[in-house]
Amino acid sequence: MQLSDLRGHKHYSDRAFTGLALAAAGLVVLILGMIAVTMTRRAWPAFGVTFFSSTRWSAADELYGALPFIWGTLYTSAIAIAIAVPVSLGVALFITQVAPPWLKRPMVSLIDLLAVVPSVVFGLWGVLVLSQHFGLGRSFLTAGIILGVMIIPIITSLAREVIETTPASDKEAALALGATRWEMIRASVLPHSKGGLVGAVMLGLGRAMGETIAAALVIGSAIGQITVNPLAPGNSMPAVIANEWGEADGPHKAALIALAVALFVITIAVNLIATSIVQRSMKRSRGA
Amino acid sequence: MTTTRDSESPLSIDLRAKPSWRTTVNALMIGLMGAALLLVAIPLVAVLWSVASRGLGIAFAQFPDFFTHTIPVVSRRPGPGMGPAIVGTLLVTGGATLIAVPLGILGAIYLHEYGGAGLFARLVRFMATVMTGVPSVVMGLFVYLLWTFNFGYSAFGGALALACLMLPVVIGSSEQMLRLVPPQLREAAYALGTTKSRTILTVVLPAALPGIVSGSLLAVARAAGETAPLLFAVGAATAYNPDLFHDANTALSVQIFANANSSFAAAQDRAWAAALTLVLLTFVVTLLARMFTARLALKR
C-alpha cells in the first residue's frame, strides 16, 4: 500500500485490474448466495412437516416424505466411514511412520490415482461387477462399500497432513524411552493428531453424503423403506434426485429440489465443523 | 526393533524378556497398516482391470469406429459409437475450463495480492471452502434453475455447472502457488516503478505459472469425470452437436450412467468402452498436471 502511494498517479488500467480481481473473488460469495436463494425459493412449496417426518414418497399421490432417503444417506455414509476410516488411518500411518522414504512417493501416487477415477466408473463397476458377482445385489452395503472406497483418498491425504505435524521431538522422546514403533505412534502421534483426524473423517463423511452417481447406480432405488438390513435395496437423497429427475413434473421437481436444499444444508454443516476442527488442530500444533 | 539392547549391561536380560509381547503387538500393528495399503490397492486394480478388459475389445474393435460413430438410438443394438459423447465431454469440460480458470486465477490474485488478511478476503476464503463442499448434484440443480430452465438444454449449461465446481478448487490451489513467489520479486519490480497490476501480470504470474497450471489441470481432470451436474443441464443427444450454446448435447460420463442402468449387454459393453475412454482422458490430464509439478520442483 505504501509503495503505491509513492508512485505519481494511479493508472486506469491498474484500477481496472484491481476491480476485475475483486469481482472474481466476490463471485464465490455471489454464487453461494444465489444457490441458497434460488433453490430455497423454488423448493419452498415442498417443504412442510411431512417432508421430514413422513415415509411415503409417491409422485402419483403428490406425497413427498423424505425420511427414508435421509435415513439412506446416513446409513450408507456410516458404512462408508466404517470401511474407510481404519483403512485410511492405516495407510496414512504406514506412509508417514513406517515406509522407507523411497516408497512414500509411489504409495501417495497410488492413493491419488484412486481419487482420479471418475465416480461414474466406480458406479459402473459397482453395479456390473461388485453387486452381481459377490452376491451383494443393489443394496445399502454395496453403496456403502463403493462410497467407502471413494472417500479413502480424501481421508488418507488429510490424515497424512495432520500426522506429519507431530513434532519430531515428541516421537524421539517416546523412542528414547524404549517404545516400539507402534507404542510411539500410540503415545506421541495419535494423541497429537486426534483433533485433526476427527476433522479429516468428517470431511470424508461430507463427501460420502453428497456423492451422487455411484450411489444412484448401486443403491437399488427402493422407495420408502427404512431398514437396518444392509443387504436390502435402499435409496439416498442424491440418488433419488439423479434417478427421478428425468420423469419429474412440476411439484415432483420442487420436492427433488427441496431434497437438494436439505442435502446442501447437511453437507455444508458437516464440512464447516470439519474444516474448523482441522484448522484449529493445525494452528495449535504449529504454535506448539 | 527400536529397543536398545546393551549386552554388557546386567539389565539386558530384563529388557530382552519383556519385549516379546510388545514387539509382537508392534509387528502385528505394522502388519495391519501394510494390509490396509494392500486393501486400498484391491479396488483400484479391480476397477481398472474391469474397465480395461471389458472396454478394450469394444473400443478398439474396428478402430476408430467407436470414437467417431454416432451413438445408436436404440440402445440394445450392438455396435460402436461414442463420438458425440467424446465431443460433448471436450466441449463441456473445455467451456468450464475457459470460465473457471481465468476467474479462479483472478480471484486468487485478489486474495493474495490485494486482500491479504482483510475482512473481505477472509470471507471469500471461507466461502470458497464452503463451496468445495457443495455436492455436485446440488450444483447441477442450481444451474438447471439458473440456465437450463430458461434457455433449455445445452453444453454451455453443463460447462456452467462444472465451472462452479472448479472455481473454488482453482482459487485455492492458485493462491497457494502465489504464496510461494518470493516477495523480493515483487519489491524489485516496484523499485523499477512498475504498477501493481503490471507487476502481477509480468512478474508474479509467470513465476507461479507451472504450479497454477498443474492445480488447474487437476481440477479439469476431476470435472471431466463429473456426471451428476450434467444430468440436469446437458440432455441426452445421440448425434454430434458441436454447438456450445444450443440444443441438447451429451457426454461420456452421462452415457456411462445411462448405459450402466440398462439391462442390455450391448449397452453395457458401450458403457465399459466409454469408461475406458473417460479414464484414459482423465489420466492423461492428471499426467500433464504431474509434468508441470515436476517442472516446478526442478526450478526450485
Q: Do A34 and B142 touch (CB under 8 A)?
A: yes
For residue A53, give how far its alpha carbon lies from the nearest alpha carbon of chain B (Å). 22
Peptide bond into B64 cis (omega under 30): yes
Q: Do A39 and B138 touch (CB under 8 A)?
A: yes
Which site among B5, B123, B138 would you substitute to test the A interface, given the most A Cβ atoms closer than 10 Å to its Cβ? B138
Q: Residue A91 and residue B36: Cα distance in Å, rounded? A: 6
Residue A52's closest CA among A269, A239, A266? Answer: A266
Which site among A120, A171, A203, A266 would you substitute to test the B interface, given the most B Cβ atoms closer than 10 Å to its Cβ? A120
pLDDT tens per residue across all 300 residues of chain B: 444 554 455 545 555 546 678 889 999 999 999 999 999 999 999 999 999 999 998 888 877 888 888 888 887 888 788 899 999 999 999 999 999 999 999 999 999 999 888 899 999 999 998 899 899 999 999 999 999 999 989 999 999 999 999 999 999 999 999 999 999 999 999 999 888 999 999 999 999 999 999 999 999 999 999 999 999 999 888 889 888 888 889 999 999 999 998 888 889 999 999 999 999 999 999 999 988 887 776 665
pLDDT of residue B58: 87
C-alpha cell at A99: 515406509
Which residue of A lies nearest to B289 if distances are taken between CA atoms? Answer: A116
CA-CA distances (angstroms) from residue B275 to A74, A242, B95? 29, 19, 21
Which residue of A lies nearest to B116 if distances are taken between CA atoms? Answer: A1
Residue A149's closest CA among A165, A125, A128? Answer: A125
Q: Kind and range of the H or E element at B54? A: helix B19-59
User: Per-residue pLDDT tens for B141-154?
Assistant: 999 999 999 998 99
pTM, to two decimals: 0.90
Q: Kind and range of the H or E element at B70? A: none
Residue B192 in contact with partner chain A when CB distance is under 8 A: no
Q: Which of A28, A39, A209 sits opposite B171 (nearest CB)?
A: A28
Q: Kind and range of the H or E element at B99? A: helix B83-109
For residue B121, give how far its alpha carbon lies from the nearest alpha carbon of chain A (Å). 8
Scan residues 201-260 of B and list those with Cβ closer than 8 Å to A: 201, 221-222, 224-228, 231-232, 253, 256-257, 260
Q: Residue B106 and residue B127: Cα distance in Å, rounded? A: 16
Residue A44 in contact with partner chain B when CB distance is under 8 A: no
Residue A129 in contact with partner chain B when CB distance is under 8 A: yes
SS (HEC) of chain A: CHHHHHCCCCCHHHHHHHHHHHHHHHHHHHHHHHHHHHHHHHHHHHCCHHHHHCCCEECCCCEECCHHHHHHHHHHHHHHHHHHHHHHHHHHHHHHHHCCHHHHHHHHHHHHHHHHCCHHHHHHHHHHHHHHHCCCCCCHHHHHHHHHHHHHHHHHHHHHHHHCCCCHHHHHHHHHCCCCHHHHHHHHHHHHHHHHHHHHHHHHHHHHHHCCHHHHHHCCCCCCCCCCCCCCCCCCHHHHHHHHHHHCCHHHHHHHHHHHHHHHHHHHHHHHHHHHHHHHHHHHHHHC
Q: Please, where are the H alpha helices in B110-251?
A: 119-132, 136-143, 149-151, 155-180, 183-191, 196-199, 205-224, 228-231
User: Per-residue pLDDT tens for B178-188?
Assistant: 999 999 999 99
**Residues whose CB falls within 8 Å of the CB of residue A267, separated by 6 or more in sequence, listed in order:** A206, A209, A210, B133, B134, B135, B138
CA-CA distances (angstroms) from residue A157 to A20, A112, A115, A204, B87? 34, 9, 10, 11, 33
Q: Which of B40, B114, B268 sits opposite A114 (nearest CB)?
A: B40
Q: How many residues does chain A have?
A: 288
User: Per-residue pLDDT tens for A225-275?
Assistant: 788 888 888 899 999 999 998 888 888 999 999 999 999 999 999 988 988
Q: Residue A245 and residue A88: Cα distance in Å, rounded? A: 34
C-alpha cell at B73: 438410438
Residue B228 in 3-state DSSP?
helix
Contact B284, B269 (CB under 8 A): no
Asked if the model's pLDDT at residue A151 lies above 90, the reply is yes
What's the CA angle centered on B229, arms A132 and B79, to 5 degrees?
50
Q: Which of A38, A209, A271 sits opposite B145 (nearest CB)?
A: A38
Q: Residue A193 and residue A171: Cα distance in Å, rounded? A: 12
